Copies of this chain bind each other. A is one copy, B any other.
Amino acid sequence: MPTTHPHSDAPHPEAHEPDVDERTAAALRLWVIMSRAQAAVSDLASADVARHGLTLAEFGILEALYHRGPMLLGEVQKRILVSSGGITFLVDRLVAKGLVERRTCESDRRARYAALTAKGEELVRDIFPAHAAVITRAMAGIPSEDQQHVADMLRDVGRHAANLPPAD
């Protein structure tokens, strides 16, 4: 017998069938799912660092400085994917919190380094392990043995997208 749902799933008369080929439909589905996954993990990570009064972007800077040592503002900017004005603003905030200091660059007087203060270093040491654990647990949705492979493919997506003409 034909089953009938309590909620009608007949399409609304004002709805339109998506008329795309299966290849396109698969890409669009993947794009939506990737965005949702990224947003979900991002929310989780944000909530985690927010407990310490930090933005995800701020934490990213601290972590980069912790693991790489002092960096030029422009280098940090490229790593964190933030605008030029944004990096100035973020570093300002971290300086105000006493976690980061600016240093002049001997060989280029335009450039400034950002470096962790002792307090900043201590903070990263304190919160990094738990933060890494949160991310790791979220990412456990992908089997450990597949993670490298997925990462390789996603890296390719990033490269692909970055090299695509903005419009054509």
Contacts and interface: CB of A to CB of B under 8 A. Distances in A.
| Closest A-B pairs by Cβ, 3 of them | A12-B69, A141-B157, A141-B156
A166 B12 contact: no
26 contacts: A14-B69, A14-B70, A14-B115, A15-B66, A16-B66, A23-B144, A27-B140, A28-B136, A30-B147, A31-B41, A31-B45, A33-B158, A34-B154, A36-B155, A36-B158, A37-B155, A40-B158, A40-B159, A40-B161, A40-B162, A44-B164, A134-B167, A139-B157, A141-B160, A142-B153, A142-B154
Nearest to A153: B142
Interface centre among A15, A23, A41 (most CB of B within 10 A): A41
A111 interface: no
Q: How large is the interface on A (under 10, 10 to 19, 20 to 34, 35 or more residues)?
A: 35 or more
Contacts of A108: none
B33 A167 contact: no
A4 interface: no
| Copies per assembly | 2
A148 B25 CA distance: 11
Given A27-B140, A150-B30, A69 B158 contact: no
Interface in A58-84: 66-70, 81
A33 B148 contact: no
Contact of A146 (B31, B153, B160): B153
